Amino acid sequence: MSSKLHNQFKIVLLGEGCVGKTSCVLRYVQNDFNNRHLSTLQASFLRKTVQVGNESVNLAIWDTAGQERFHALGPIYYRDSDGAVLVYDITDEDSFQKVQNWVKELRKMLGNDICLALAGNKIDLENKRIIGKHQAENYARSVGAKHFNTSAKQNKGIEEMFHCLAEDILAKKSRDLKTAGRSTGISIIDDSQVEKKSGCCQ
């Protein structure tokens, strides 16, 4: 059997206050939801290990504060991130505009080194939606991100979003490793190739 590599990826959640960042991560990690608003002060940290294909992936998820006074601390938390979840409230135009500012900052600081997922949260309030689905999806596509419609309250889209982001990060790391191998002249082979070769020699 092929050995399972243990990958550690850092994911940061960004977005305005009250958009549901904490609710999303608590639903994902602990399958828990609290109807009361939970304000994050500076940042909190949660960890979850998931299976992505044949790989065991350890996600270190940083939930950052959305209040304006904490925005200057953002770079401290996303500096070494492999992925980012940018959360906005589908009923709040300003929260969607602020997400676009975060994306610009992330791309400016980290370029394509970070994988992005946009979460249009609170789809349980669909009847109050202001941000159109196509509008959000087109924007996400324009910045190389994937868009997800989520509801922490109803547990919709959360698992899929984090899993897809982990897949994207893993795929990017694999591509980067192969690129590094080609540039140094070192051949990168995975366990499946080793097994096939060893099987032919038996």
pLDDT in tens, 59-110: 999 988 654 444 555 567 678 899 999 999 999 999 999 999 999 989 988 9
Comparing 143 with 201, the larger pLDDT belongs to 143
Q: Taking the mean position of all CA atoms in its chain, how far away is CA 129?
A: 23
Comparing 17 with 34, the larger pLDDT belongs to 17
Residue 176 has pLDDT above 70, yes or no: yes
pLDDT of residue 85: 96
Four-residue CA torsion sign, 196, 200, 201, 202:
positive
pLDDT of residue 6: 55
Mean per-residue pLDDT of the chain? 83
pLDDT of residue 70: 46
Which helix (H) or strand (E) element contains residue 64? strand 55-64
DSSP 111: G
In sequence order, the 6+-apart residues with CB closer than 8 A to the CB of 77 are: 12, 43, 62, 64
Q: Whole-model pTM?
A: 0.80
Domain 6-200 falls under CATH 3.40.50.300: yes
- Give 177's pLDDT tier (boundaries 50, 70, 90): confident
pLDDT in tens, 17-30: 889 999 999 999 99
